[in-house]
Structure 1
């Protein structure tokens, strides 16, 4: 009997010795905004298509994009797992990455982008549930770096080359006509 009591106390003591880890709290309010939002020196005409382009390059299918409201949403691709339910039969279960972005002009040359990534359980083609927010700052940091690079490329493409003057269509037609041998 004493041996059982000692063994039981050792087992209970070993469970009590394990460190208890507190569940990491999800950021809220301003902390969440600091992770999810970034300001850029760019207009809405540059920001909006840059974000759409980055999301498409990252594998998201854009489901909605409205430049007037500044809202963009997209769904990423994911591989499904075959499941069986006794009531509904065969089905697929998959976790699908989803993103929404809000773009707003905050001044003549300043725009703000706020991204929100979530992982959602897909139950059918267009039915999602059990969304889990992605709060990892590195995910947002990487996304904002890609957006910054795309903005840089777009602004460079939109800028005229120094030392050259744009040629009007009438002047170009005159030059082309003069180049044709008569």
Structure 2
């Protein structure tokens, strides 16, 4: 009897301890000022370069359904996830899935200075009944720094790759402007 209770206690500890460890390993949430710092970057390039870099970063990160509006300066996309089948006593069979949405805002504050802001959301989509199709989606702002840092690093790399191309294009434009102006005629 004593051995049985010891075995049950050991089994209970083995089952409970992994859950406690993962709860402690959860990434800490950032304060409002820390979150604002990782959500925003200013680049010494044009709005065009930052805009195309943000779109390329979303594509490289595997986002789908990317929508961009140059007039508004907004870009958004979402990740894809497989839905999991779930059972509810009241609703019957349903589905649940988690996706992540990224939203960029690109603003040129002054010529050659562009600010990029990023918001990341965790979306939980539920279909309560496969038969009736009752759907609901909840979104929550991600407050951990790692996902922002990872996506912003992709944008940084894309901006760095495009920056020399912009400088060459600006130099070519300037040289064609000066070459196209007519010189004054000394005889006339």
TM-score higher than 0.5: yes
Contact persistence 1:44–1:104 (CA under 8 A):
yes
When residues 82 and 103 of structure 1 are mapped into structure 2, their CA distance, relative to the original with a 3 A threshold, is same
Matched, 1:34 2:37: yes
Matched, 1:138 2:142: no
Structure 1 counterpart of 2:137, from 121, 128, 136 = 128
Could you tell me how far apart the structure 2 residues matched to 1:123 and 1:94 are? 7
Structure 2 counterpart of 1:67, from 65, 70, 83 = 70
For these two proteins, the number of residue pairs brought into alignment is 143
When residues 25 and 159 of structure 1 are mapped into structure 2, their CA distance, relative to the original with a 3 A threshold, is closer
Structure 1: 5+ residue runs without aligned partners? 1-20, 169-182
1:142 Cα offset (Å):
2.0
> What secondary structure does 2:146 align onto?
helix
Q: Tell me which residue corresponds to 1:118.
A: 121
Q: Tell me which residue corresponds to 1:54.
A: 57
Q: Tell me which residue corresponds to 2:180.
A: none
Could you tell me how far apart the structure 2 residues matched to 1:108 and 1:149 are? 21
Could you tell me how far apart the structure 2 residues matched to 1:63 and 1:108 are? 27
Could you tell me how far apart the structure 1 residues matched to 2:122 and 2:92 are? 25
Computing the radius of gyration over CA atoms, which structure comes out larger, 1 or 2?
A: 1
TM-score, L = length of structure 2: 0.64
Structure 2: 5+ residue runs without aligned partners? 1-23, 128-132, 177-188
1:48 Cα offset (Å):
0.7
Q: Tell me which residue corresponds to 1:80.
A: 83
Question: How do residues 102-181 of structure 1 correspond to structure 2 at under 5 angstroms?
Answer: 102-124=105-127, 127-129=136-138, 131-160=139-168
Contact persistence 1:52–1:62 (CA under 8 A):
no
> What secondary structure does 2:94 align onto?
strand
1:38 Cα offset (Å):
0.8
1:83 Cα offset (Å):
1.1
Q: Tell me which residue corresponds to 1:90.
A: 93
Could you tell me how far apart the structure 2 residues matched to 1:62 and 1:42 are? 27
Q: Tell me which residue corresponds to 2:3.
A: none
